[in-house]
Structure 1
Amino acid sequence: MMPGDRDMSSIVQRIARQALVTFRSPPRAGEDAGKSFLENLGKLRSLMTEVRAADLRLAPPPPYLHLHQQLHHGAAPPVTYMHICETDQFSMGVFLLKSGASIPLHDHPGMHGVLKVMYGKVRISCFDRPQPPAPVGALRRSVLRSTGEFTEECGPCVLSPDRDNLHQIDAVDGPTAFMDILAPPYDPDDGRDCHYYRVLPDAEASPAGRQQQQRGEEEEEKDAWLMEIPQPPGFWCGAEPYPGPEVSL
């Protein structure tokens, strides 16, 4: 073990332990968050704000590799995932996006999440979970809460079962990586499968939807109409080994 490894692993270990405490009894969809949960979530956000790529032994790929990946984009997955740890309460890992890659608009049913950029830049568009649920192919009304760009100097992006639960993540100006905590983890057998959505342009939405969107354009938060779709054919996720310090829980 190198002299600095204990210091580097401590932040990763502390994040995992704080996530375990934070998401032991999280508020469910439609429930207000209690004081204890909010305090623990604040501690987790503070730790996630501190973590850097070096703590996970990550580094951006060299420029010549960027060009090779762009020339042979179809030969490798646009997104890969590094698994760090998982419990019944949460999963933690790192997503790596190649230059120009996107994770399409998708949901996190009944889940909380915290996302922190490790290197590069991402653009994240966040929507509230549509209510009420509707069959595949039906229109669902939602709210576009925010669209912003995040780098390693930014604080984490946080989602809850109700607010900002859907998001699209785009790599901007090169490859990027972000650390991701989801609580509880995806589990199709327990009703937490991942669904993908398309934002309908005004012309495809109902007249009522168009009127709502026109009113929303004057505000920061905008009404939106979404349609659930199959996983986009150009998107799939591969796996890479996690090179950082081991986490024990």
Structure 2
Amino acid sequence: MGIEPTLVDRKGKDLCELSEETNSRSRRNRRRQKKMVQKLFEACKDVFASGGTDYIPPQADVDRLRAILDKMTPEDVGLTPEMRYFRILAADEPPIITYLCLHECDKFSIGIFCLPPSGVIPLHNHPGMTVFSKLLFGSMHIKSYDWAIDVPSYPTAVPNPAQSQSPGVKLAKVKVDADLTAPCNTSILYPADCNMHCFKAVTACAFLDVLGPPYSDRDGRHCTYYFDYPFSSFSVDGVSVPEGESEGYSWLQEREEVDDLIVVGALYQGPKIVTK
């Protein structure tokens, strides 16, 4: 039984049109990816041009950066959940967290943290920095704190006797304690507001960080990690919180060592940023 030539021609034409449509969509996606990363870089360059330690961008600039980040997707930076960064490699060791640096200068940095399931970035601060964090995919638990106002630090022993010689504890108020699932809005930390946070991956996830300015030991912007303890762990004369609100407060203590965190750098392979 023969096949009509017209049917063969029609099928061939359909396949060609489908191939052209696929190629066209792929080109559009590549252009969008390059456009989004470059757009983010250009915005950061403008927003943090005159910035430094303790600089807070004007609200219009905050809104501009947040709007760009809110629209960013994993595809815009060349990531998929199937990549090796998001696998647990050894069950008896802390999950390895991968950091991809897109750009860093003395004014700002743009980078991506890739977390396997159960990966944790412990509680840490951002001294004198404004921080934008965008969850690109997956789910994570985030907890953030502000220092409680007008409460000094107390050089008291902590529940763990092994830490009794460590620096004192200081009272902090919980600002956010919730699970986030992409897509979701960008989170923002300010130099004097909601400046400490920690992350735990509920599923494999990736988040993009913009720091303005970035960490710098030379300029006094050193990353400090903390233990956090329930408010009820300590009884300090003259320190109280409103009745029924003790769960909204914790005592934080600086950590001298962070042996449960493994972060490795990897080459960013997404759309390149043109810096000139």
Sort the Cα spacing of 1:25 and 1:206 in 2 relative to 1 into closer, same or farther, 3 A: farther
Deviation at 1:224, TM superposition (A): 2.5
Seen in structure 2, the aligned counterparts of structure 1 residues 121 and 22 have a Cα distance that, compared at 3 Å, is: same
Contact 1:77/1:238 (CA < 8 Å) preserved in 2? no
How far did 1:191 drift? Answer: 0.5
1:45 is displaced (CA, Å) by: 0.1
User: Does 2:256 correspond to 1:227?
Assistant: no
Q: Structure 2 counterpart of 1:234, which letter? A: D
Change (3 A) 1:236 1:213: farther
The residue that corresponds to 2:129 in the other structure is 111
Q: Residue 82 of structure 2 aligns with which residue?
A: 61
1:51-90 alignment to 2 at 5 Å?
A: 51-61=72-82, 66=87, 69=88, 72-74=90-92, 78-90=96-108
Q: Which residue of 1 aligns with 2:145?
A: 127
Q: 2: distance between equivalents of 1:13 and 1:209?
A: 52
Matches within 5 A, 1:142-153: 142-153=172-183
Question: Alignment partner of 1:178: what SS?
Answer: strand
Matched, 1:247 2:273: yes
User: Any conservation in 1 of the 2:99–2:113 contact (CA below 8 Å)?
Assistant: yes
The match for 2:119 is 101
State whether structure 2 residue 35 is matched by structure 1 residue 10.
yes
**Which letter does structure 1 place at the counterpart of 2:132?**
V
Distance 1:96 1:209 in 2: 43
CA distance in 1, matches of 2:117, 2:175: 25
C-alpha displacement at 1:208, in angstroms? Answer: 4.8
Partner of 2:13: none
* Cα displacement (A) at 1:239: 1.2
Q: 1:179 aligns with which of 208, 211, 215?
A: 208
The change in CA–CA distance for 1:200 and 1:57 in structure 2 (over 3 A counts) is same
RMSD (Å) for aligned C-alpha atoms: 2.8
**Counterpart Cα distance in 1 of 2:51 and 2:245:** 31
Contact 2:94 2:119 in 1 (8 A): no
In 1, Cα distance between equivalents of 2:225 and 2:176: 18
Partner amino acid, structure 2, of 1:154 = C
**What's the % identity of the aligned pairs?**
28
Partner SS for 1:124 = strand
Q: Indicate which of 198, 218, 235 corresponds to 2:227.
A: 198
- Normalised by the size of structure 2, how large is the TM-score? 0.77
Q: 2:245 aligns with which of 199, 207, 216?
A: 216
Question: Secondary structure in 1 aligned to 2:63?
Answer: helix
Deviation for aligned residue 1:80: 1.1
> 2:199 aligned with 1:169, yes or no?
yes
Q: Which residue of 2 aligns with 1:44?
A: 65
Cα distance, 1:189–1:73 mapped onto 2, change above 3 Å: farther
Indicate conservation of the 8 Å contact 2:146/2:195, yes or no.
Answer: yes
Bigger radius of gyration among the two: 2
Judge conservation of contact 2:94–2:262 (CA < 8 Å) in 1.
no
Structure 1 length as normaliser, TM-score? Answer: 0.84
Alpha-carbon distance between aligned partners in 2 of 1:152 and 1:122, rounded to the nearest angstrom: 9
Q: How many residues align?
A: 237
Which stretch of structure 1 is more off in the superposition, 3-12 or 86-95? 3-12
Q: Which runs of 5+ in 1 are unaligned?
A: none
Decide whether aligned partners of structure 1 residues 22 and 217 sit closer, same or farther in structure 2, where only a CA change above 3 A counts: same
